[in-house]
Each structure stands twice: as structure tokens, then as C-alpha cells.
Amino acid sequence: MNLPSGYQDNNENGVIGFCGKLDIRPPYQREFLYEEKERNAVINTFKKLSH
């Protein structure tokens, strides 16, 4: 199973992926930008999940 499997962008109701197992952007979360350190940590987490 890959990350975009089951990806759904429901606009104001949030974004889900990984066949509903990953809540990418909950409906209550605002759009924001990670600093480089936090962004890299998120990317590394996804890379570990894919192995």
C-alpha cells in the first residue's frame, strides 16, 4: 500500500490518505508551513513507513 492510496481532499472537511489510516489535514487544522527541520522530520517518517 502506498501513501496516496485512498487519498481524498475534502476541502474544508480535511484531507485523508493511506486508505483512511492517515489524517493528513484534519478539518480543524489550518494551512501552515513547516520550518525546514520539521518538514524533513515528516518526510523521513513517511520514508520509514514505506519500507
Whether the predicted pLDDT of 1 surpasses 70: no
> What's the pLDDT score for residue 21?
82
Task: Label residue 2 by pLDDT band (50, 70, 90).
Answer: low
Task: Examine the pLDDT at 3 and tell me if it is beyond 60.
Answer: no
Cα–Cα distance between 21 and 31 in angstroms, integer?
A: 20
- Using one digit for the tens of pLDDT, what is the confidence trace for 9-34? 888 788 888 877 888 887 776 666 78
CB 24 within 8 A of CB 16: yes
**What is this structure's pTM?**
0.42
